[in-house]
Amino acid sequence: MLTSGGDSPGMNACVRAVVRTGLYHNLEVFGIVRGYAGMIEDDIQPMNSRSVANIIQRGGTILKTARSKEFRTPEGRKKAYANLRKRGIDGLVVIGGDGSFNGAQVFSNEFDIPCIGIPGTIDKDIAGTDFTIGFDTAVNTAVEAIDKIRDTADAHDRLFIIEVMGRDAGYIALHSGISTGAEHILIPERKTDIEAMLRSLEEKEKRQKLVNLVVVAEGDDFGGGNEVSKIIRERLPNADVRVCILGHIQRGGAPTCLDRVIASRMGYSAVECLIEGRHNVMVGIVNNRMHYTPLDKAVKATQKISEEWLKIVKILAS
Ligand code: F6P
């Protein structure tokens, strides 16, 4: 088992579930340190029940994580396979995002080793699952921060631009923006009508509604919060504008109950899949039931952003 790509809160709960379910079935379980990089460098450790004690509540990942360029080469994958073979490892669980699943898919095609993917990313941008491990924690961290920003925005009558994570995905922006009453939400999946936004902010200024929150995903059309602030300042020179970039605090911290539960269910299911011979799938949860998507279809989902949600933002933020 390995964790790969950006870490996400709940990965540890998932590692624990994989280890303990494997041991329950009398399997030998190994943890690969630093993702695919550790597989190539032979940084692989046997895990027992105690190795995963006292981690269910911790953010980050005890297995560490990395993005490996070498694993993208056939030579790198060959070395990685040799390290698995010499330990008699005959199944792989990969906890990560779609990039990590691509790697797993290529690897299992080349070497005939069954791989199971578990969606672990704060971005929630994976097709075939309603949840990804870490999203709920990250979005609640953003909500807590934005609520605090609203207090100071209100005290000073300020317009705040808050940048949240999401290079390619607007789910954190959308959920945190709706739940904190943001006036505008800018996401990578939709082209922003900047003129309409500026007109609406001008109109609010005229009627002395000076406290405004604009939530921007880092990968929006304009390149994040600082860029959006330049455009707003130019058009509204009298507005008292501040920018807050939440950044990596969204990736850390104790996982929420929801993230711990889905991580435990997915980790358990991944091992069951390997045992039952349901290979090369990503384990997801859809309508509260386990759902299995072939690894090559477990790609970035960018089209699920609902028009209705965007309409709700407009109506509620008047
Ligand atoms: O994929 C998760 C994520 O946190 C994105 O939201 C963000 O754009 C990216 O990772 C940041 O990556 P890094 O930590 O490598 O800067």
DSSP string, 55-122: -TT--S-TT-----SGGGSHHHHHHHHHHHHTTT---EEEEE-HHHHHHHHHHHHHH---EEEEEB-T
- Please determine, for residue 302, whether its predicted confidence score (pLDDT) is greater than 60: no
pLDDT at 297: 86
Average pLDDT over residues 142-171: 97
Q: Probe ligand 1: pick from 251, 300, 302, max atoms within 8 Å of CB?
A: 251
**Interval between CA 88 and ligand 1 midpoint (Å):** 34
| pLDDT confidence bin for 176, thresholds 50/70/90 | very high
Q: Write the pLDDT tens digit of every residue in 129-153.
A: 999 999 999 999 999 999 999 999 9
Average pLDDT over residues 245-260: 98
Q: Tell if the pTM clears 0.75, that is, is over it.
A: yes
Q: Write the pLDDT tens digit of every residue in 13-29.
A: 999 999 999 999 999 99
Question: Which amino acid would we find at residue 149?
Answer: I
Task: Classify the phi-psi angles of 88: left when phi > 0, otherwise alpha if psi is within -120 to 50, otherwise beta.
Answer: left
Question: Which amino acid would we find at residue 58?
Answer: R
Closest listed residue to residue 191, CA positions, set 215, 220, 170: 220
- Please determine, for residue 8, whether its predicted confidence score (pLDDT) is greater than 90: yes
Average pLDDT over residues 311-318: 87
Q: Which domains does the chain have, with CATH numbers?
A: 2-134+255-298 (3.40.50.450), 137-251 (3.40.50.460)
Positive or negative, the CA dihedral 253, 256, 258, 261 is positive
**Interval between CA 137 and ligand 1 midpoint (Å):** 15
- Please determine, for residue 261, whether its predicted confidence score (pLDDT) is greater than 60: yes
